[in-house]
Amino acid sequence: MAVIYLVRHAQASFGARDYDKLSDLGERQAVALGNVLRTRGVRPELVVSGSMHRHAQTAELAGFAPEIDHGYDEFDHDQVIVAHKPAYRVRALMIADLARTGNPKRAFQQMFTAATDRWIDGSDGYTETFQAFCDRSEDAVRRTAGRLGKGETALVFTSGGPIAAVVSRLLSDGDGLWPKLNPVTINTAITKVVSGRSGLTVVSYNEHGHLDQQELTYR
């Protein structure tokens, strides 16, 4: 059987002007990830990532040089948020609103859950529907599997959304698990998918034993 490791990027810069770069903690998470992969003897024949800077940065700090497959890109968070709350097109307004709650990360998660629910329900205002996003995520992992020979390994650096989409489809033949899986995907967590005669099978999800408790993050 061939093996595909789907790795979520390390912590990005939540609340900063440029979200798409790793935080200081994220950089440490990526190094820890690389250490554990080397310790486990993971020597991939194929290394792939989405096109986000946080994907490439995580791969680089972990010691890998990926090729890009846009199928592993995250969905457009900004568009999903603005479709839900058009005023948040002005990012400073969103940040100020969240700050006033006293717990910006919790307030963001509540708002973001409502925004993704709207997207999942098929409302308008999106260049990529939820269905199309899940389709391309599944297509990407199947494309990766198709490039592997027997016993070979692929390492994929991507985001929580595509990982949740792939796992939902492989476990349930549908997208219904995505809203539960996506929020709990941990930064630099490893999901293992095997490819064999019966197709693709998820054998582990969201494994993060390389992180200390204080290094564990979801955003």
- At residue 90, the 3 state secondary structure works out as coil
Q: Which residues lie closer than 8 Å to 92 by C-beta, 6 or more apart?
A: none
Give the per-residue pLDDT at 14.
63
**Backbone CA torsion sign across 176, 82, 157, 128:** positive
Residues comprising the chain, all counted: 219
Domains and CATH numbers, the chain: 2-73+129-215 (3.40.50.1240), 77-120 (no CATH)
Residue range 66-87, pLDDT digits in tens: 999 999 999 999 999 999 999 9
- At residue 43, the 3 state secondary structure works out as coil
Name the pTM for this structure.
0.93
Residue 193: HSE in the Cβ half-sphere, 13 Å Cα cutoff: 27
Average pLDDT, the chain: 94
Average pLDDT over residues 21-34: 95
Residue range 203-219, pLDDT digits in tens: 999 999 999 888 889 88
Give the per-residue pLDDT at 15.
60
Q: How far apart are CA 211 and CA 201, in angstroms?
A: 25
Q: How far apart are CA 143 and CA 177, in angstroms?
A: 22
Give the per-residue pLDDT at 18.
62
Give the per-residue pLDDT at 92.
87
